[in-house]
Amino acid sequence: MTSTARRLCTAATGAALLALALTSCGSGNDAGAGAATADESNAIPAPSGLDAAREYRSVREADPVADPVAVAIPAIDVDGPLTRTGIDDRELEVPDFGDMSWFESGTAPGDPGPAAILGHVDTRKGPDVFYRLHELEPGDSVVVDTADGESLEFVIDRVEQHDKDEFPTENVWLPGSEPRLHLITCGGEFDRSAGSYRDNVIAFATLNSS
Amino acid sequence: MPRLSRMSLVALPAAGVMLLSACGGTGGTAAPVEPAAGTDGGGAAQTAGDLTAEDLRITLERQLGQHAMLAVEAMRAGVAGQDHFDAAAASLEKNTEDLTDSIGAVYGDEGAEKFNELWSNHIDFFVQYTTGVAEDDQEAQDEAIERLDQYREDFGGFLDGATEGELPQNAVADLLQDHVDQLVSQVDAYAAEDYAGAAEQTREAYAHMFGTAQGLTNAIVATQDGISGDPESPDVELRSDLGKLLGEHAQTAMQAMRAGVSGQDDFDAIAGALDANTRDLTGAISGVFGAEGGQAFMGMWADHIDFFVQYTVGLAEGDEQAKEEALQRLEQYREDFSQFLDGASDGSIPAEVVAEGLQKHVDDLVDQVDAFESGEYDSAYGSAYDAYNHMYGTAEALSGGIVDFMGGEMPAGGVETGGGGTTR
C-alpha cells in the first residue's frame, strides 16, 4: 500500500466511515467479510451489501411514455389534438387534411429514439396545419401532451428540406437512445403533373430534459 | 503527497504486463467477434493519416467515459480507505496513457506530453480533494478545488490553442466545471453514505463525457487535415449510443459485483444505477424491435444480470454449487439471447457473433470478481479494463446489424403531405 493509500485508509478509519474501513484497511483483502463461507456466516454477521445482493432482482418492467394526444408549437401558432397514422408496405400512411398525426408504428414522443408527427402543408384550397413549419428556428419549443397528462417539451435543433427522392431516411428513422421528435410536411415546388410537392420539410427536435 | 501517476506505478508491476500487452492497435476498428488487442486494451485512435472521424469520436468517448468511471472508483476507494485503491489508481493511469496516445495521434508528441501533464495534474487534484474529505480537512478540500479551477483555465487554454479556437477556452472551462462538480459531488455523497446520490452523480459524470468527446471530435475534425468521414452521421450516432449504454452496463455491473462480494453498503445504489441503465438500453432496443421485442430483450437482459449477481453471492458464501448453477444459466442465456437477436433481426445480427461476444463478457466479469474476492486487485482491474472496452466492439457489431436490419424496415422515401392549394 502506498503512503497516500495508507493515509486515506487511516483517515477513513478515524472518520464516519469507520465501519466500512474496518473491513478493508490493512486486511490485504477488502472482499473481507464478503468472502466468508456459509459456515462462517454463523459467527460473523452477514454484511448488508451481501444481503442486498441476495435479495436483488434486476428490473423487468420498462417504463414507456404514454401515447401522445396533443401537440403545441407556439412559434407558428399550432395547437391541437393528434390523430394517428401508420405504415403500409414501408410507405407512410398519409394523414387526413387538417390532422396532425403521430406515426404510431414508430416511437412515442419521449421514449428513446425518433418519434414523428406528420401534417399537411396545404390542402387543395389553402394552407393546412404545418403550413408554417419551415419558419421554425433552433430553440423553438414543441410541447407534446400525453394520455396520462404529462407535457413533454422538445426543442428544435434544425429544419431541413430534402427532395423526396433523397429523403434522409436514416437521419429520420434510425433508432437511438435519446428521445427525438421529427415534424414532417411537404415543401419546395409543387409538381402539378404528379399532384405532389417535390420536397419534404423536416423539423428535428430533441427532448428538453432539464 | 506523491503524484498519483507515481503512486500508481508502485501498483503496476503485477498488472502492468497484462495492461501494457493489451495496449496499442485501433480501438475503433476492432473486429466485433474477437476484438483486436486495441479494443480490449483501450488503445488509442489510429495515427494521423488513416484516422476517421467516426473512430476518433468513438475512441474519445470510450476513453473519456472510462476516465470518469475509474476516477469515481478510485475516489471512492480512497475516501473509504479500501485496499484496492492502488489498483484503481493504476487503471486510471492506464486510461490516461491511452488518452494521451489518442491526443498524440492528432497533435503529435509535444501536444501529447502537454496533455498528459495537465490531465495527470487534474487527477492528482481530485485525489487531493478525496484525501481532504477522508481526513475531514476543509482546507485541503478548498485547496484542491482552487487547483482544479486553475486546471480548468490551463486545460481550456490548451484546447483553445490546439483547436485553433474551435473549442474556446471559456467553453472548455464550463464543460470541465461540470466534470469537477459531478466527481466532487459523488465523492461527497459517498462519504456521507448517500450512496444513491453518489450513483446518480456517477451516471451523470459518465454521460457528460460523451458530449465532451463529441465536441472535441468536431473541433479536431474542423481544424485538422486528413480525418475523413462525418462524426455525426446517423450510424455513428447509433454506435455511439450503444457504446455508451453497453460500456455503462459492464462497468456498473462490475461495481455491483465488487460491492456484493465484499458486502459494501452501496450495493443497492449501484444496482439501482444498473437498473436505470437496463431501462435505457431497453428503450433503445424497443425502437428497433418494437415494444414486444423490447420487453423480450429486457427479460433476458435482466436474467443475465441476476445470474452474475447469483454468481457473486455464491462466491461470497463459498458456495461452489451456486457458482456453477449461475455459470450454467449464463451459458443458457448466451444461447437464448444470441438466437433472439438473430431471429428478431432476420439474421442481421448473427447468433454466432453475439454468442462469441457474450462469452468474453461473461469471462471478463467472472474473472474480475474472482480476482477481487481473492484480493488480486491488479488482476481484477485488468479484467475490468478489458470488459469495459470489449463492450464497444459489441456496440459496433450490434449497431452495424441494426443498420442492416432497419434498412429493410424503415419507411421508404418521402411523405405526401400537401394538396398544392397554396402554390401559384
Nearest to B76 by CA among B257, B348, B259, B236: B259
* Between residues B260 and B13, the one the model is more confident about: B260
Confidence band, pLDDT 50/70/90 cuts, at residue A161:
very high
Best A7, A17, A22, A90 member to test B by mutation, with max B CBs in 10 Å, is A17
- Looking at residues A128-135, what average pLDDT do you find? 97
- Indicate whether A91 and A50 sit together in one domain: no
Decide if pLDDT at B21 tops 70.
Answer: no
- Which of B81, B127, B372 has the CB atom closest to A25's CB atom? B81
Phi, psi of A16 (to 5 degrees): -65, -15
The C-alpha cell at B171 is 467553453
Of the listed ranges A16-25, B254-263, B327-336, B366-375, the one predicted with least confidence: A16-25
- Indicate whether A19 and A101 sit together in one domain: no
* Between residues B103 and A89, the one the model is more confident about: B103
- Indicate whether A176 and A126 sit together in one domain: yes
- Indicate whether A162 and A76 sit together in one domain: yes
Give the A window 113-132 contacts with B, CB below 8 Å: 113-114, 118-128, 130-131
- Which of B192, B238, B278 has the CB atom closest to A59's CB atom? B278
Beta carbons of A2 and B421 less than 8 Å apart: no
Q: What is the DSSP letter of B347?
A: T
Decide if pLDDT at B84 tops 90.
Answer: yes
pLDDT at A14: 34
Q: Is there a domain that residue A197 lies in? A: yes
Domain range enclosing A20: 3-55
Mean pLDDT, chain B, integer = 87
pLDDT in tens, A33-92: 333 344 444 444 545 789 999 999 999 998 889 999 999 999 999 999 999 999 888 888
Nearest CA in chain A to B279: A62
Confidence band, pLDDT 50/70/90 cuts, at residue A24:
very low
- Looking at residues B93-105, what average pLDDT do you find? 95
- Indicate whether A47 and A102 sit together in one domain: no
Decide if pLDDT at B375 tops 90.
Answer: yes
Q: Is there a domain that residue A169 lies in? A: yes
pLDDT at B117: 95
pLDDT in tens, A169-190: 999 999 998 999 999 999 999 9
| Distance between A187 CA and the closest CA of chain B, angstroms | 8
- Indicate whether A108 and A25 sit together in one domain: no
pLDDT at B26: 27
- Looking at residues A191-209, what average pLDDT do you find? 93
Q: Is there a domain that residue A151 lies in? A: yes
Q: Give Cα A144 distance to the centre of its chain.
A: 13
pLDDT at B170: 85
Which residues in chain B touch residue A1, judged by CB atoms under 8 angstroms apart?
83, 85-86
DSSP chain A: --HHHHHHHHHHHHSTTHHHHHTTTTTS-TTGGGG--TTGGGTSPPPHHHHHHHH--------PPPPEEEEEEGGGTEEEEEEEE-EETTEEPPPPTT-EEEETTSPPBTBSEEEEEEE-SB-SSSB-TTTTGGG--TT-EEEEEETTS-EEEEEEEEEEEEEGGG--HHHHH---SSEEEEEEEEEEEEETTTTEEEEEEEEEEEE---
Q: What percent of chain B has pLDDT over 70?
A: 88
- Looking at residues B163-186, what average pLDDT do you find? 90
- Indicate whether A46 and A92 sit together in one domain: no
Domain boundaries, chain B: 1-230, 233-407
Q: Is there a domain that residue A63 lies in? A: no
Give the A window 15-74 contacts with B, CB below 8 Å: 15-17, 20-21, 23-38, 41, 46-50, 52-54, 56-64
**In angstroms, what CA-CA distances link B159 with A100, B96, B213?**
46, 16, 12
- Which of B135, B241, B309 has the CB atom closest to A177's CB atom? B241
Beta carbons of B419 and A164 less than 8 Å apart: no
Q: Is the ipTM of this structure higher than 0.85?
A: no
Nearest to A145 by CA among A71, A63, A65: A71
- Which of B83, B298, B416 has the CB atom closest to A94's CB atom? B416
Best B417, B422, B423, B424 member to test A by mutation, with max A CBs in 10 Å, is B417
pLDDT at B424: 58
Domain boundary among A55, A80, A97: A55
Decide if pLDDT at B291 tops 70.
Answer: yes
Which residues in chain B touch residue A27, judged by CB atoms under 8 angstroms apart?
83
Q: Is there a domain that residue A188 lies in? A: yes
pLDDT in tens, B220-247: 998 888 899 999 999 999 999 999 999 9
- Which of A2, A127, A130 has the CB atom closest to B2's CB atom? A2
Which residues in chain A touch residue B128, judged by CB atoms under 8 angstroms apart?
none
Which residues in chain A touch residue B265, judged by CB atoms under 8 angstroms apart?
20, 47-49
- Looking at residues B44-68, what average pLDDT do you find? 85
Decide if pLDDT at A18 tops 70.
Answer: no
Tell me if A49 sits within 8 A of B260, measured CB to CB.
Answer: yes
Torsion of CA B235, B236, B241, B246, to 10 degrees: 100
Q: Is there a domain that residue A74 lies in? A: yes
What CATH number is associated with residue A84? 2.40.260.10
Decide if pLDDT at A7 tops 50.
Answer: no
pLDDT at B42: 55
pLDDT at A49: 83
Which residues in chain B touch residue A54, judged by CB atoms under 8 angstroms apart?
313
- Which of A8, A119, A123 has the CB atom closest to B134's CB atom? A8
- Indicate whether A85 and A156 sit together in one domain: yes
Decide if pLDDT at B43 tops 60.
Answer: no
Decide if pLDDT at B36 tops 80.
Answer: no
pLDDT in tens, A66-76: 999 999 999 99
For β-strands A113-119 and A179-191, DSSP reports them as parallel
Beta carbons of A17 and B79 less than 8 Å apart: yes
Indicate if the alpha-carbon torsion angle B288, B290, B291, B293 is positive or negative: negative
pLDDT at B296: 95
- Indicate whether A185 and A129 sit together in one domain: yes
- Looking at residues B122-151, what average pLDDT do you find? 96
* Between residues B369 and A209, the one the model is more confident about: B369
